[in-house]
Structure formats: C-alpha cells, structure tokens
Amino acid sequence: MIPGGGQPNMQQLLQQAQKMQQNLAAAQEELARTPVEGSAGGGLVKATVTGAGELQGLVIDPKAVDPEDTETLADLIVAAVRDANQSAQELQQRKLGPLAQGLGGMPGLPF
C-alpha cells in the first residue's frame, strides 16, 4: 500500500526493480565463483562445487580405492558431492534469500 493512498511512482518502482535485479545478478555471479567443499568417509573423498552447484573437482585418497569394492568408492563420491551441494545450497540461501525477499515486497511480481 502506498502511504496517503496515492498511486505508486512507476519510475521509482522500476528503478527499485532494476537495482534488485543488478544485486541478484551480482550475487549469482559471486556464487558461480565461490568454491564450496564437501567430504565423505572421514575426508577420504572430497568434492568441490561452486556456490551455484557446478562440480569443479574431486579428490580421492588412495586409501579409499579398493579394486574389489568399487561400490563403496562410488557411494563415497556420491556422498561427498551431495555434501558439497548441500553446502552450496546453504550459501545460495544466505546470498540470494534476502534479495528474493526484497523482490517479494514489490507489487505485480510473482514471488
């Protein structure tokens, strides 16, 4: 609601939306550059993803490699990547959550 019951200043609303869009784009860009790590098996397998969730690296300790038990290694890899992605999602919430909430307060926007 606009104080005094007047019509919203469309130019001001557009400027606010543009500013929020720029802030959102900057936060997304920062997330794409931010490495986040996850691990499994007490650190035997480590995965690095970007804050946007893109897998960037995988480190496997030779102690985790048993040619007779590749299933356990595969499980450790999946667990490490999931751990890294969970951390990336938490980072996304911290970076993007406040921006999305700000956009939700603008009339006419579907969030």
Centroid of chain to Cα 82: 13
Look at residue 110 in the predicted model and tell me its pLDDT. Answer: 45
**For each of the chain's 111 residues, which pLDDT tens digit applies?**
455 556 668 888 888 888 888 888 888 888 888 999 999 999 999 999 998 889 999 999 999 999 999 999 999 999 999 999 999 999 988 888 877 665 555 454 444
Q: How far apart are CA 44 and CA 62, in angstroms?
A: 8
Q: Report H helices in the chain.
A: 10-33, 70-104
Contact 57, 39 (CB under 8 A): no
pTM above 0.75, yes or no: no
Look at residue 78 in the predicted model and tell me its pLDDT. Answer: 97
Give how far Cα 106 sits from Cα of 8, 10, 93, 100, Å.
11, 11, 20, 10
Q: How far apart are CA 87 and CA 74, in angstroms?
A: 20
